[in-house]
Amino acid sequence: MSALNINNLQNTFQDALNFGGSPGAVSTSPTQSFMNSLPQRLNAAKQQKVLKPFSTGDMKILLLENVNQTAIEIFKQQGYQVEFHKTAMGEDELLGKIKDFHAIGIRSKTKLTAKVLEQAKNLICIGCFCIGTNQVDLNYAADKGIAVFNSPFSNSRSVAELVIAEIITLARQLGDRSIELHTGTWNKVSARCWEVRGKTLGIIGYGHIGSQLSVLAEAMGLHVIYYDIVTIMALGTAKQVATLDELLNKADFVSLHVPETPETRNMLSAPQFAAMKDGAYVINASRGTVVDIPALVQAMKANKIAGAALDVYPNEPGKNGAGTYNDDLNSWTSELVSLPNVVLTPHIGGSTEEAQTAIGIEVSNALSKYINEGNSVGAVNFPEVSLRSLDLDQENTVRVLYIHQNIPGVLKTVNNILSNHNIEKQFSDSNGNIAYLMADISQVNQSDIKQIYEELNQTSAKISIRLLY
């Protein structure tokens, strides 16, 4: 398949930075200037062979939920057909549409259920242009041989900055003062308004976002403690605590940064709110199910919790518009919005130009590499397998991509099929019930390629096969 070369990638990234419209110019650091003065090994390296399993124009990509323009540009540079929609699609609409596409890009609102994926006869990969992947049935996708990619790092800074803003907003009751002044009420007060300097921030989940938040918070004079299920080295002077209760007992602000799992569901509920300091604040920009919101409402009414900032909810509207956030969506909505010092935002933690641009580049490149080269590094539901690229002088070579059930004897069967040919390189890995084999076979002609495909296609453990040549 046609693949982006190094210059195209560099130009795309620079264009993406310009597209983001950041008010700050991107400058070259002294280290970058020194590196730019060195001989470029990439230019001196052998030119990579472009793999062509079929015409790139036959590849159809469906992009939903206003995925960033950078992704559209990268896919079009590959020669793919791109269909773009600004909104999400419901299950019924997807059922009639998804069968025609080889890849789909979504954000958080589109639900790719087993019922939808069952109709995805041509689908080979899914791109979640966000951190979370809970909107996709990952196990079913893997069983169908569909690799799922996401962007675990690109919006970390944007979310961390939003949380910092919410910490100050809650401490100073800025939301209430703003609403009052918008309605003509002048209410200059200092009661229960605080500086954040010297207070303690408790971070639940010290991953990419939690650790960035830690650094920003310390720079503002906050003491940082964190709780995680694994031992993680602290940044700065932050300290890891042994239990969640210890964090809740000590923190003035509690910010959650955990995935949605059965273990994290209602991670903060009535017992946890009772364990918190009187007058503490709760911030959730992770997943809507990790905070028991009815219990939070009761804790705020009892003046146990002094304020809360929520960016995510158990059920969220499928599209923008007036009146979409209501009691029909979540039964407690009216009660929540009536409380003082509650900051509610519509899942915008990662919604900055910089983050969406970076996500567009990261996920679209991951999908392109999987389509063009079979490279599954970064897949969240799939074995991570990669082989170095072929050189232009490697003619009459085919790359075999064989996805199969992870059961004994499969590799022996496959290698028996391939043993009549020269296997230049080969790599296999497994993830649960799924295994993935990549192999480059040289000195083959069209007849050999057809025979390899037909024999592999007859193996009982096969899930899917692709040949790149």
Position 393 in a domain: no
Residue pair 2/57 in contact (Cβ under 8 Å)? The answer is no
Residue pair 250/276 in contact (Cβ under 8 Å)? The answer is no
If asked whether residues 171 and 313 sit together in one domain, one would say: yes
If asked whether residues 302 and 403 sit together in one domain, one would say: no
Q: Which residues pair with 148 in a beta bridge?
A: 126
Mean pLDDT of the chain: 88
The torsion angles phi and psi of 284, rounded to 5 degrees, stand at: -130, 110
The Cα 338–Cα 124 span in angstroms is 46
Q: What is the mean pLDDT of residues 185-206?
A: 97
Position 379 in a domain: no
If asked whether residues 37 and 71 sit together in one domain, one would say: yes
If asked whether residues 149 and 249 sit together in one domain, one would say: no
Exactly one of 180, 218, 316, 335 is catalytic; which is it?
316
Position 212 in a domain: yes
Classify 378 in phi/psi space as left (phi over 0), alpha (psi -120 to 50) or beta: left
The Cα 280–Cα 127 span in angstroms is 38
If asked whether residues 430 and 367 sit together in one domain, one would say: no
If asked whether residues 84 and 50 sit together in one domain, one would say: yes
* Residue-by-residue DSSP string for 361-374: HHHHHHHHHHHHH-
Position 392 in a domain: no
What percent of the chain lies above the pLDDT cut of 90? 81
Exactly one of 287, 399, 404, 421 is catalytic; which is it?
287
The Cα 272–Cα 276 span in angstroms is 7
Query: What is the domain count for the chain?
Result: 3
Residue-level pLDDT at 56: 58
The whole domain housing 34 covers 6-154+352-373
Residues 6 or more apart whose Cβ sits within 8 Å of residue 118: 140, 144
Q: What is the mean pLDDT of residues 288-307?
A: 98
**DSSP E strands, 249-379:** 253-256, 280-284, 305-310, 342-344
Residue pair 147/125 in contact (Cβ under 8 Å)? The answer is yes
If asked whether residues 192 and 95 sit together in one domain, one would say: no
The Cα 459–Cα 402 span in angstroms is 11
The Cα 137–Cα 112 span in angstroms is 6
Any catalytic annotation for residue 399? Answer: no
Any catalytic annotation for residue 287? Answer: yes
Residue-level pLDDT at 21: 39
Going by pLDDT thresholds of 50, 70 and 90, the confidence category of residue 26 is very low
Which range among 180-184, 226-230, 309-313, 418-422 shows the weakest confidence by mean pLDDT?
A: 418-422
Q: In the β-sheet with 147-149, what is the strand arrangement from edge to edge?
A: 81-84, 60-63, 103-106, 125-128, 147-149
Q: What is the pLDDT of residues 38-88, one digit of tens each?
A: 344 334 445 565 555 555 558 999 999 999 999 999 999 999 999 999 999
If asked whether residues 213 and 254 sit together in one domain, one would say: yes
Q: Which residue has the higher pLDDT, 237 or 30?
A: 237
If asked whether residues 334 and 198 sit together in one domain, one would say: yes
Taking only Cα atoms into account, the Rg of the chain, rounded to an integer number of angstroms, comes to 26
Position 31 in a domain: yes
Using DSSP's 3-state secondary structure scheme, residue 24 falls into coil
Q: What is the mean pLDDT of residues 320-337?
A: 95
If asked whether residues 172 and 136 sit together in one domain, one would say: no
Q: What is the mean pLDDT of residues 406-429?
A: 94
Position 382 in a domain: no
Residue 140 sits in a domain whose CATH number is: 3.40.50.720
* Residue 13 pLDDT greater than 50, yes or no: no
Q: What are the tokens at 362?
A: 């990261």
Exactly one of 347, 399, 404, 421 is catalytic; which is it?
347
If asked whether residues 255 and 288 sit together in one domain, one would say: yes
Going by pLDDT thresholds of 50, 70 and 90, the confidence category of residue 325 is very high
The Cα 141–Cα 120 span in angstroms is 10
Residue-level pLDDT at 366: 97
Position 386 in a domain: no
The helix (H) or strand (E) run that includes residue 216 is: helix 208-219
If asked whether residues 26 and 93 sit together in one domain, one would say: yes
Residue 458 sits in a domain whose CATH number is: 3.30.70.260
Residue-level pLDDT at 39: 40
The Cα 205–Cα 241 span in angstroms is 11
Q: What is the pLDDT of residues 206-252, one digit of tens each?
A: 999 999 999 999 999 999 999 999 999 999 999 999 999 999 999 99
Position 383 in a domain: no
Any catalytic annotation for residue 316? Answer: yes
Going by pLDDT thresholds of 50, 70 and 90, the confidence category of residue 393 is low
> Whose structure tokens read 């990662």?
350
Q: What is the mean pLDDT of residues 444-448?
A: 91
Q: How far is CA 176 from the centre of its chain?
A: 33
Q: Fill in the amino acid letter for 288.
A: G
